[in-house]
């Protein structure tokens, strides 16, 4: 593989900067996979971000299944490109919790590096998606191997007239900027619709932190978990229950894998509601604080959920703050569950289990270590005895 990318990045005389090479890649992509393409479409493209979608179409079956049913819908894919491209590969994500799609993106590490890494990544993605949906390889994919479009100014013009060199680049940037602004139907504007400005800022901060972690070689989590958690958080931010003040969500240290959830409203006819009103008078807080901890294999394993405060009796809350609910175990969990539905179910279960605030209790009795120990014992007990008649005193 050629090493021209490194030489150009070093600034050799007459070498095209990596940014200009990237723009030529983007022009080629847009010329091949326009918005009306039958199989793959570039929705928006600029030097730091691309939104696109794969359209399986009629006859497609996920995993090559021959079973009848509606064809799968479009696969929406996003790409973030850092200033260090092509030394740092593009960062891909997909709007789905399908592990097959996550696996396709994870296999991109096998693609050898080079100047046109973006094009080679997309070639691999489209080819693998065609295989996944039992579709023939689209002939346009081979066009990604053709030479890049010529630059809009010759090398002699670049050497002698630097001002003339800048004009095509500025115009190009403007074209890409306008393309993003003109895309209200199927891009960031659609997925962000209904989300408040403060919460949009949180989502954007998460994305920036992820990019920085990638550059620093400190990536945590997995592609599938990160994509799903971003979707869950986005869905929560546009949820009527969230906007109605039934609960609040805060990321611990800006980590997508560690959430503090405040249950702000419970059944007004419950004893727990009255206890929370008294708690507000005594301590200035009237909510139940939960902590959700997610692992790399989410959503295929449940989050670990515990009560942080206040100390409760009843409500299927165990020692240390663990919660006795089957849906929070591998046995009862489903990857189809949304985090909001889990939050609302926990809120209802606390009331159903007649949870009460233990005023004056030692607040230190709730800890992560004790909650994990209680949860482990809980799982072992129910694996042997089932979940048919949980003891009232401990879940």
**DSSP class per residue in 26-92:** HHHHHHHS-TT-SSEEEEEEETTEEEEEE---TT--GGG----SPPP--EEEEEE--TTTTTSPPEE
Tokens representing 101?
A: 């799609």
- Whole-structure pTM over 0.85, yes or no? no
CB 41 within 8 A of CB 35: yes
Quickly state the pLDDT bin for 1 (edges 50, 70, 90): very low
What is the Cα–Cα distance from 205 to 254, expressed in whole angstroms? 8
φ, ψ at 320 (rounded to 5°): 85, -15
Quickly state the pLDDT bin for 211 (edges 50, 70, 90): confident
The winner for highest mean pLDDT among 43-52, 77-86, 205-214, 307-316 is 307-316
φ, ψ at 97 (rounded to 5°): -105, 15
The per-residue pLDDT for 9 is: 35
Element (H, E) at 23: helix 18-32
The per-residue pLDDT for 323 is: 93
Quickly state the pLDDT bin for 70 (edges 50, 70, 90): low
**3 state DSSP class of 363:** helix
- Exposed / middle / buried, residue 163 (Cβ in 10 Å: 0-12, 13-18, 19+): exposed
**3 state DSSP class of 386:** coil
φ, ψ at 314 (rounded to 5°): 70, -165
Stretch 342-356: mean pLDDT, rounded? Answer: 94
Least confident of 79-93, 172-186, 280-294: 172-186
**Other residues' Cβ atoms within 10 Å of the Cβ of residue 253:** 5
The winner for highest mean pLDDT among 94-98, 198-202, 220-224 is 198-202
- From the list 46, 79, 130, 324, the catalytic residue is 324
Tokens representing 77?
A: 């894919």
CB 45 within 8 A of CB 179: yes
324 is catalytic: yes
């Amino acid at each position: 593989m050629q090493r021209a990318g490194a030489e150009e990045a070093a600034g050799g005389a007459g070498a095209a900067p990596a940014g200009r090479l990237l723009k030529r890649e983007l022009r080629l992509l847009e010329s091949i996979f326009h918005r009306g393409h039958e199989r793959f479409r570039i929705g928006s493209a600029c030097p730091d971000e691309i939104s696109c979608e794969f359209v399986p179409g009629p006859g497609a079956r996920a995993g090559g299944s021959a079973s009848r049913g509606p064809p799968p819908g479009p696969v929406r894919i996003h790409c973030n490109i850092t200033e260090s491209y092509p030394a740092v590969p593009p960062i891909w994500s997909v709007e789905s919790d399908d592990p097959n799609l996550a696996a396709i993106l994870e296999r991109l590490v096998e693609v050898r590096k080079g100047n046109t890494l973006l094009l080679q990544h997309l070639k691999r993605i489209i080819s693998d998606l065609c295989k996944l949906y039992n579709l023939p390889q689209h002939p346009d994919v081979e066009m990604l191997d053709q030479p890049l479009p010529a630059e809009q100014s010759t090398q002699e013009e670049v050497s002698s007239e630097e001002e003339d060199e800048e004009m095509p680049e500025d115009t190009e940037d403007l074209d890409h900027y306008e393309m993003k602004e003109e895309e209200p139907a199927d891009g960031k504007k659609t997925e962000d619709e209904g989300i408040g400005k403060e919460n949009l800022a949180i989502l954007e901060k998460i994305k920036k932190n992820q990019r920085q972690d990638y550059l620093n070689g400190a990536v945590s989590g997995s592609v599938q978990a990160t994509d799903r958690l971003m979707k869950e958080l986005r869905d929560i931010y546009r949820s009527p229950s969230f906007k109605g003040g039934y609960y609040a969500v805060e990321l611990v240290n800006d980590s997508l894998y560690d959430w503090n959830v405040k249950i702000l409203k419970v059944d007004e006819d419950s004893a727990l509601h009255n206890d929370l009103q008294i708690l507000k008078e005594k301590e200035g807080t009237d909510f139940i604080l939960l902590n959700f901890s997610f692992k790399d294999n989410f959503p295929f394993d449940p989050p670990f959920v515990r009560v942080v405060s206040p100390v409760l009796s009843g409500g299927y809350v165990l020692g240390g703050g663990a919660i006795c609910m089957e849906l929070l175990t591998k046995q009862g969990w489903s990857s189809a569950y949304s985090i909001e539905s889990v939050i609302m179910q926990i809120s209802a279960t606390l009331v159903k289990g007649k949870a009460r605030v233990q005023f004056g209790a030692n607040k230190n009795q709730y800890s992560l270590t004790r909650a994990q120990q209680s949860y482990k014992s809980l799982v072992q007990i129910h694996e042997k005895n089932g979940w048919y008649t949980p003891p009232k005193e401990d879940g």
